[in-house]
Structure 1
Amino acid sequence: MTRHRSAVVAKGIIMNKLLKGAIAGAAGVALLLGGAGTFALWNDAAVVSGGTIATGTLAIAKSGTATWTDISPGVANGTTFDPATQKIVPGDKVKLTQKVVLSTTGKNLKASFGFDPASVTTDSALASVLNYNLTATPVVTAGSAAVTANGANTYTITPGSDATTTVDVTFTVEFLDTTGTTGQSVASAADLSKLAFTLAQIRP
């Protein structure tokens, strides 16, 4: 009886050791699988030749020297006007002519061309009787930009195939022939020494 019990106990001890070994082995396998799983997520990459995306251009520069002419009623065509020495009176109209070069490139580029009223300085009384008018005429080539009037003193520029377009710009100053004495006894003046033509991108 004692021998049988000892055999049973010994068998139980052996089974217990085997069970513990199996559990430990299973845990080790699980750890190995878990560790391997962390590094088994595959990935790859392919290089695509996407080229280079370049930006367009938007710039304006004057070309040559501005000239002034007197286009007042009754004055012969081509009469020059010198703002440094000559003065205007009601009914007079004088014109500045200046070439500018517009640099406009870009697939969907459109721009607005005009002048900055703030770049002309004068007193408020004289400003009320002066009229300004701007015109822009492109020197047309096969690839020049389209220049389209878009309201008073404003033009829409649509680029062509050429990177630059030369534009003949005229800016007239008219002293309106109205009643009153504005500027009659006062040394009033309109300062155009910093007259600024502007070019600004617009979106449809």
Structure 2
Amino acid sequence: MNKLMKAAVAGAAGIALLAGGAGTFAVWNSTASIGSNATVSSGNLSLTANTDGVWKAGTTTLTSAQLAAYRLIPGKTLTYTQTLNIVATGDGLTAALTNSGLTATGTIAGVTPTMAVTSTSSNVTVSGNNVTVASASSAATVTVTITVALPESATTGQSSSTTLNAPTFTLTQTV
């Protein structure tokens, strides 16, 4: 074999040895744990209807059948009251209660449905129909009252009907 060929074979063998040994060097390492295990719990945000709502004509409570048969006349008012339970627990949690709005469709002229939201819970702030809820250890209550009035001045809409499309309430975290 000539010298050039011997040198090439020796060089290739050297490179092969270096490449083969590249993955075998040792790396030192060490680990340590600090502190202790910790359990973290999440909060809760929920909205539920407390009971079935109640329709009233004046002070008289109406069953579903009585409401279906009730004939609203000018100067009279119907009210619907529903209580909502709000659970808001979590450090720094606040939430907003919003509604899709109360709408009426039909042909009774002058019917003006309105909605009012109230609460006596200390962690609930009500401004009009805008409700803010802060975290608390117990459930809060919000009362929704829908009023349907036919003004005394109504002169049209006899033998007509109107459907009240109930609002949908949504509780959304704000912080």
TM range (shorter): 0.5 to 0.7
How many angstroms apart in 2 are the aligned matches of 1:167 and 1:41? 68
Alpha-carbon distance change, 116 to 32 in structure 1, aligned in 2, over 3 angstroms = farther
Decide which of 103, 118, 123 is 2:87's aligned counterpart.
103
Higher helix share: 1
Partner of 2:12: 27
Determine which structure has more spread, i.e. the larger CA radius of gyration.
1
1:68 aligns with 2:50: no
Partner of 2:75: 91
Higher strand share: 2
How many angstroms apart in 2 are the aligned matches of 1:45 and 1:167? 58
CA-CA distance at 1:176 after TM superposition: 3.1
How many angstroms apart in 2 are the aligned matches of 1:22 and 1:134? 97
Task: Give percent identity, aligned residues only.
Answer: 21
How many angstroms apart in 1 are the aligned matches of 2:81 and 2:170? 17
1:134 aligns with 2:116: yes
Task: Read off the aligned partner of 1:131 and give its amino acid letter.
Answer: P
CA-CA distance at 1:56 after TM superposition: 4.9
Partner of 2:172: 201
How many angstroms apart in 1 are the aligned matches of 2:23 and 2:84? 66
Alpha-carbon distance change, 104 to 24 in structure 1, aligned in 2, over 3 angstroms = same
Alpha-carbon distance change, 160 to 58 in structure 1, aligned in 2, over 3 angstroms = closer
CA-CA distance at 1:108 after TM superposition: 5.1
Aligned length: 168
Contact 1:146–1:160 (CA under 8 A) maintained in structure 2: no
The CA RMSD measured in Å over matched residues stands at 4.0
Q: Which runs of 5+ in 2 are unaligned?
A: none
CA-CA distance at 1:198 after TM superposition: 0.8
Q: Which runs of 5+ in 1 are unaligned?
A: 1-12, 72-78
CA-CA distance at 1:40 after TM superposition: 5.7
Partner of 1:75: none
